Amino acid sequence: MMRDGLPEWLVRLLKPVYCVPSLLRASWYLLGVSRGCRVRVLWGGAVRVRGASRIRLGDRVWFNRSSIPVELICGDNGNLLIGDGTGFNFGDSVQASQLVRIGHSCMFGGFTRVRDFDGHRTAPVIIGDRVWLARGAVIEPGVRIGDDAVISAGCVVLHDVPAGAIALGNPARCMPITSLRRNGSEVAGVESDSPDHPPPLLLTL
């Protein structure tokens, strides 16, 4: 990016100028969607919208630059509500046929799927504030996710997730974030010598 070499104060000064293209892209891609101020689609990003009149976006919602478009699909009787400051990464898909409500300041990693019907049943999906959905997470119908929860990568959530918990695995199991540990760097069922590097904080079970 061009702005990397510039001093901090100049970046802050130029910020209104830099965000103009993304604001224009938002008004193009989100035509007919009722949205708050400063909704942005970053350069290279794309959003596919169906049922635009029943989708509501809060302030400062942003869609990341991407190679694969984000889908926002709302059925005829559905409501899709997205809170302030929520960010979407590439390949995300949010489908609402009844109600999908997403709180403010959530983070959506790439290829996450949120939907409130699965062809058999329809139940509202409610996602709290400051929730982090990591890459490839799938939220099934009828799930409520509490504030500050973390859904780890590739996780398939079938049941409710309490506030401040982390959901891991498929099917998802919940645990408090504080109970995660920095050990166990081997796959279950295998014995081997210690790894060469310090083990990372594992975001899988």
**Binding of residue 17 to other proteins (CB under 8 A):** no
**Binding of residue 186 to other proteins (CB under 8 A):** yes
Q: Closest Cα partner for 137 from 169, 181, 164, 160?
A: 169
Closer CB to other proteins, 17 or 188, in the complex? 188
Query: Taking the complex as a whole, how short is the minimal distance between the CB of residue 188 and other proteins, in angstroms?
Result: 5
Query: Taking the complex as a whole, how short is the minimal distance between the CB of residue 116 and other proteins, in angstroms?
Result: 22
Containing H/E element for 93? strand 93-96
3-class DSSP state of 125: strand
3-class DSSP state of 23: helix
CA distances from 57 to 7, 60, 147, 190 (A): 33, 9, 19, 48
Q: For other proteins, which stretch binds (CB under 8 A), given 27-35, 49-57, 120-128, 134-142?
A: 134-142
Site string for other proteins, 95-114 (x = CB under 8 A): ------------x--xx---
Q: Strands 165-168 and 173-176: what pairing?
A: antiparallel
| Contact residues for other proteins, defined by CB under 8 A | 4, 67-68, 107, 110-111, 130, 132, 134-136, 150, 152-156, 166, 168-170, 177, 180, 184-190, 192, 195, 197-205
